[in-house]
Amino acid sequence: MTFSGCLGDTQFCFRFRQAAGRKSSLGCFLEHFDRDAPVSLKKDQGYYYGYVYFRQVRDKSLKRGYFQKSLVLISKLPYVTFFHSLLKLIAPEYFEKQEPCLEAACNDIDRWPTPCPGKILSLPIMGVVMKLRIPTCYDKPGTSQLVQSTPSDSQVSIILPTVHEVDLFRCFHPVFFHIQMLWELVLLGEALVVMAPSPAESSDTVLALVSCISPLRYCSDFRPYFTIHDSEFKEYTTRTQAPPSVILGVTNPFFAKTLQHWPHIIRIGDMKTAGEMAKQMKVKKLKNLKTLDSKPGVYTAYKPFLNKDEDIIKQLQKGVQQKRPSAAQNAILRRYFLELTQSFIIPLERYVASLMPLQKSISPWKSPPQLRPFNQDEFMKTLEKAGPQLTSRLKGDWIGLYRQFLRSPNFDGWFRNRRKEMLQKLEALHLEALCEEDLTLRIQKHTEVETVDLVLKLKEKLTQAEKDQLPVKAGTLAKLQAHIDTIILTLPEDLQGILHKPPSP
């Protein structure tokens, strides 16, 4: 890896597809982890993340005149802040002391507990301790679950305020006049390319874009740092079809020519002062990107659906002028995106909840009732009285934005996840209704064959409920097991012996 202009140490992240047919050995414990993780932090089925610490320094004793080395950590988990902090400890030591240092680090990591959402973890590494908390899906969005230092933490050297969030304001600083439009483009799964001066700025900006629609999960592909060596290079740069729904982060000037047919291009440059920000007010036309020395800015013909929110721009600009701390600017921007996304998603949540059958229609002796299908026209009608205008002051073509969103991969991913949750809820309610029945009374009218059939069905339900981790009330599964045991005792001894055997895997 050689990066012109990247003298010294630099950190960035990339993402790549898992080879077809390969199974990850992490799958088993991550299944349990996924249940309590927030949607945006669930593992990526077909992707890995690569976290890089790269050093490039002049060294006349070497043939090339430079010392160049990378340490790369591969994971299924999108914990960018955590893994960058970890590499910051390991990589400099590794560059000095080579393999023995990696062995020592791996020995420390081997003793770490399984990542568990909600728990505060203290992780010893290289003679120091990192303390952190993995968020859960039960955390209230927008609330910070900061890990506090305690008197017993004499060994703790590093307390991480977050395991995964990037500094939104720092990433969007060069283009913050366009944050609302960028939010729309990400929400709709539009093809976006970020052209940045370094891999670090490229990967941070792409990760910031993906996280700006949180708590919605971005469901298309995204590549924080994409190069001509990526296996998808031909697939993503072909001109024979429309660009795919993907966000690419690139640094190679070659891409300015290769991707100039893409509909939305963000050019990141150095814009440190408020005076320079005035220059990025206008959205530039794509035809102006033909030259390699194009000015920073957003190049697109896209017309936003929503009117521009001048208040947030003024608030952030004022912060720049008053030298407000970056952490405070980041918190303002994160809250803004969160409220915007929530205003957009609440009407969808409300409508989808109405597709659930009434609880009284659930009978223990019939299959759980079906969910009503999602009807786009029916949903649109609900927006008149219960649309985003209830929670957002923004005006504009909300209806047009929803129509476009319903055709996007983000809607498809969101609805599939919600539908799965609702089907599991129906199964849970059905199971609870079954547990409230007097099954011993019921089987008095059954033949022996029917009773055995009932036991097998109940056992299957119990196994499935445990496997799917159904959201049942506490004690439900134990109650169901007690019902099964009671029914088995009513059968002849030879059948009891067979039915008490656990099912073969």
The pLDDT tens digits for 55-83 are 888 777 777 777 788 999 999 999 999 99
Helix axes 476-489, 409-435, angle to 10 degrees: 50
The pLDDT tens digits for 31-52 are 667 778 888 888 777 899 999 9
Q: Global pTM?
A: 0.87
**Residues 6+ away with beta carbon under 8 Å from 504:** none
Q: DSSP letter for 325, please.
A: -
Higher-pLDDT residue of 208 and 390 is: 208
pLDDT for the residue numbered 277: 46
Query: Over pLDDT 90: what percentage of the chain?
Result: 45
Residue 271 binned pLDDT confidence (cut-offs 50, 70, 90): very low
The pLDDT tens digits for 80-125 are 999 999 999 999 999 888 888 899 999 999 999 988 888 888 899 9
In this structure, what token pair is assigned to residue 193? 């390319």
Backbone φ and ψ for 187, nearest 5 degrees, come out as -55, -40
**Residues 6+ away with beta carbon under 8 Å from 123:** 108, 112, 129, 130, 131, 132
- What is the distance between the alpha carbons of residues 447 and 492, in angstroms, rounded to a whole number? 12
Residue 22 binned pLDDT confidence (cut-offs 50, 70, 90): low
- What is the distance between the alpha carbons of residues 178 and 162, in angstroms, rounded to a whole number? 26
User: Are 66 and 81 within 8 A, CB to CB?
Assistant: no
Sign of the four-CA dihedral 284, 287, 289, 291: negative
Residue 27 binned pLDDT confidence (cut-offs 50, 70, 90): low
pLDDT for the residue numbered 66: 77
Task: Give residue for tokens 């599991």.
Answer: 424
Residue 291 has pLDDT above 60, yes or no: no
The pLDDT tens digits for 159-176 are 888 888 899 999 998 888
pLDDT for the residue numbered 292: 47
Residue 293 has pLDDT above 60, yes or no: no
Residue 498 has pLDDT above 70, yes or no: yes
Of the candidates 357, 335, 474, 486, which has an alpha carbon nearest to the alpha carbon of residue 426?
A: 357
Residue 257 binned pLDDT confidence (cut-offs 50, 70, 90): confident
pLDDT for the residue numbered 63: 74
Alpha-carbon distances, residue 59 vs 52, 67, 167, 486 (angstroms): 21, 6, 33, 78
pLDDT for the residue numbered 280: 53
The pLDDT tens digits for 441-479 are 777 777 778 777 787 888 888 888 888 788 888 888 888
Residue 411 has pLDDT above 50, yes or no: yes
pLDDT for the residue numbered 30: 64
Residue 274 binned pLDDT confidence (cut-offs 50, 70, 90): very low
Residue 220 has pLDDT above 60, yes or no: yes
- What is the distance between the alpha carbons of residues 467 and 434, in angstroms, rounded to a whole number? 18
**Residues 6+ away with beta carbon under 8 Å from 164:** 40, 41, 78, 79, 80, 81, 82, 135
Higher-pLDDT residue of 305 and 489 is: 305
Residue 400 binned pLDDT confidence (cut-offs 50, 70, 90): very high
pLDDT for the residue numbered 492: 79
**Residues 6+ away with beta carbon under 8 Å from 23:** none
Residue 413 has pLDDT above 90, yes or no: yes
The H-or-E segment that residue 267 falls in is strand 264-267
Higher-pLDDT residue of 465 and 346 is: 346
Residue 279 has pLDDT above 60, yes or no: no
Beta pairing partners, 246: 221
Highest mean pLDDT among 153-157, 172-176, 281-285, 453-457: 172-176
pLDDT for the residue numbered 285: 63
pLDDT for the residue numbered 403: 97
* Residue 295: CA count within 13 A, CB half-sphere: 13
